[in-house]
Chains A and B, each alone.
Chain A
Amino acid sequence: MNASAKHKLRVPRPKSGVVRILVGTRKGAFVIKSDRERKAWKVDKVWMLGHTVHHVVSDPRESGTILMAARTGHLGPTIFRSTDSGKTFTEASKPPAFEPAAEGLSQRTVNHTFWLTPGTDQEAGVWWAGTSPQGLFKSRDGGRTWKPVRGFNNHPMLDQWTGGEKDGTPDGPKLHSINIDPRDPDHVYIGMSGGGVFESTNGGRSWEPLNRGCAADFMPMENPEYGHDPHCMVMARTNPDRLWQQNHCGIYRMDREEGVWQRVGKAMPKAVGDVGFPIVVSPFDPDSAWVFPMDGTSVWPRTSPGGAPSVYHTADAGKSWKRQDRGMPSEHAYWTVKRQCMAHDEHDPLGVYLGTSQGEIWGSINEGRTWKVLARNLPHVYSVEVLGIQP
């Protein structure tokens, strides 16, 4: 079902100048800052050292506002909020937390908030959050207080959709990839590992699975309606009806009017495969996307295939893919790049950035043609976003 266009689509214009990369890690958050030409980079800020930071996201509607999903080894999950570009952070007075379970559903507790997405331009102060285990929460006051999205968290099918605690990542099952249609704030997509992709067209009151065409070859049944493992899903800014998905079972693209995922990863080299965690799409061109393949064979090392890391880029909506590894090590580099660890800026040519589990930030300022390391020796990277850019 396509959204009715309640609001005009705002297409970003190319930016220039300094880029600030917001990095969430297992041991704090960091800002990596460039010069005006994006040639020299440095670690500019260290925030909340020691906190487990799953996502750091700036508000593209409100300069200076940054939200951070964090917890520590001892303390439960919270949201930190800054309105002065990170000079100071205050903690949410009511962070995401489940209500008593609806009848027939198991009681859950939030282990951590995993994903943050700002609302549309028309909804100042609105933020969405996805948690582990899978829960959806919304704030209408800029992240100070959060309420459960009952239409999702209390859905009678939720336990069946998610498959319980066993169906999740080693860090726990997650709700991620919250994408809001910029033309209609009531039109929301989410991804769940495990669970699949789901869609709401009424602001979260009701939900439908959106997994047709997507494989779930780890399940005993053929073509299940739900139970899939989308690792990351993104919406094209210039065409919100174009969705891209890096799934456990390959790279997919959907044109929403068709309602069927197409496995465009079949065009990837067989020796590399089309398994990975992150995917990004150009903010200017819905046919242009980047992935970072990983080894998904045998016991799933989740490291770069053959120890040779590379980004792959398509400029033709997935019909063909081009290897982009100039500048990256060519052997014995066993990187893992998690689902939130790849991002782009809005410069022309586009900058693409990624963070590794070894604590390195890599970047390309020419759309992936050449790469260089921007920061080393950080903790295990959990998320990479660019300041001022819609995730």
Chain B
Amino acid sequence: MKVYLPSPLYSYTGGKSLVEARGDTIREVLAALDAQYPGMAFRMVDEVGHLRRHIRIFVDERPEEDLDTKVQDPMVLHIVAALSGG
């Protein structure tokens, strides 16, 4: 499925904002991204599996907190770096 990434993660993808990754849940898609770009998942999800405070995920245009939410093509995942200024 298509995954849109926020600019803080471009360092992993060589500047690409749109990548492809497979998985039946959001968690599996993030794991697939980590296999392609080692280290990327830990920047978004901590070691106990919680989404980090300023990362938001949208499936199509619906915000999802539960990483075990089912996903499938042709859904589109948007990973968003939420507002956290200062």
Interface on A for B, CB 8 Å cutoff? 72-76, 78, 91-95, 97-100, 107, 109-110
A74 — which chain B residues lie within 8 A by C-beta?
A: 6, 8, 52, 54-55, 81-82, 84
| Interface-central residue, B6, B11, B81, B85, by most chain A CB under 10 Å | B11
B47 touches A75 (CB 8 A): no
A-B interface pairs (CB < 8 A), number: 52
B39 touches A93 (CB 8 A): yes
B14 on the A face (CB < 8 A): no
Closest approach, in angstroms, between the C-beta of B33 and any C-beta of chain A? 13
- Using A72-B8, A74-B82, A75-B8 as known contacts, say yes or no to A110 and B47 having CB atoms under 8 A apart: yes
Closest approach, in angstroms, between the C-beta of A299 and any C-beta of chain B? 23
Q: How many angstroms from the CA of A110 to the CA of B52 in the assembled complex?
A: 11
B82 — which chain A residues lie within 8 A by C-beta?
A: 74
Q: How many angstroms from the CA of A236 to the CA of B50 in the assembled complex?
A: 42
Interface on B for A, CB 8 Å cutoff? 6, 8-9, 11-12, 38-39, 42-48, 50, 52, 54-55, 81-82, 84-86
B11 touches A91 (CB 8 A): yes
- Using A76-B43, A91-B12 as known contacts, say yes or no to A109 and B50 having CB atoms under 8 A apart: yes
Q: How many angstroms from the CA of A322 to the CA of B79 in the assembled complex?
A: 56
Between-chain CB contacts (< 8 Å), 14 pairs: A73-B85, A74-B52, A74-B54, A75-B8, A75-B9, A75-B55, A78-B42, A91-B39, A93-B38, A95-B39, A97-B42, A98-B47, A100-B48, A109-B47
B39 — which chain A residues lie within 8 A by C-beta?
A: 78, 91-95
Question: Which are the 3 A-B pairs with shortest beta-carbon distances?
Answer: A93-B38, A74-B81, A75-B43
A72 — which chain B residues lie within 8 A by C-beta?
A: 8
